[in-house]
Amino acid sequence: MEGRNIRVVIADDHSLFRAGLKTLLSQVKNVEIVGEAVNGQELIRRSIELSPDVILTDIGMPVMDGVLATKELARRKISNRVIVLTAFGREEPVLQMLEAGALGYLLKTADTDEISEAIQTVYRHKPYFCKEITERLTDIVAKSYQMPIRVDIAFTEREKDIIRLICRECTSKEIAYSLNLSKRTVEGHRTRIMDKIGAKSIAGVITYALERGIYKK
């Protein structure tokens, strides 16, 4: 972790949950809670002040919810390393958070090891979905996701290789190294893949790959 702690801000309107989360993360090496927020507006303000490495936020909060806060953080280019930490609840807000730019998704029942793993993963700009959301992602998207599914999409073998590596949570740099390509070439392929699918985020690419059998867990 480059010799320093991963600086984390947490946002949740329940003080007892924030206190419990702080206690859990105090046991994790290289992770430091540097700030707290009780709603989305405060999360944005604290993130501007503190420039955290990773943000853990609930979805449902007063004043401004996690979806709007995540969109605003992305718009202001403050942070895109956002992890949703929620009781799950309704499916639509989960998809909205992924579309807003959140990189990770955890249930509030996650243990210390899983929360730590999610933080470490998202810190490296890689997506992290807990087991429950990974297993249900295809079903959720089938019911709620508004991405048009095109059954006649043709991918080159190179594009399929890149899609599989995206599903394995590889960064553009890692994909480039694996396929002996330049990072710029990989990013061009990623853009074309998302355009073909009609996806607005990596979550859409992963979902399509799972549905169409391009990638199998």
Taking all residues of the chain, what is their mean pLDDT, rounded to a whole number? 84
Cα 92 from Cα 146, distance rounded (Å): 11
Contact yes or no for 43/28 (Cβ under 8 A): no
**CA-to-CA distance for 25 and 35, rounded, in angstroms?**
13
Q: Identify the band that residue 152 occupies on the pLDDT scale cut at 50, 70 and 90.
A: low
pTM of the entire structure? 0.66
6-137 CATH fold: Rossmann fold (3.40.50)
Q: Is residue 177's pLDDT more than 50? A: yes
Annotated domain spans of the chain: 6-137, 147-212
Give the count of beta carbons closer than 10 Å to the beta carbon of residue 190: 18
Q: What is the DSSP letter of 38?
A: S
Helix (H, G, I), strand (E, B) or coil at 217: coil
pLDDT for 105-151, tens place per residue? Answer: 888 888 999 999 999 999 988 888 887 766 666 565 555 444 444 45
Residue 2 has pLDDT above 60, yes or no: no
The matching CATH number, chosen from 3.40.50.720, 3.40.1190.20, 1.10.10.10, 3.30.360.10, for 147-212 is 1.10.10.10
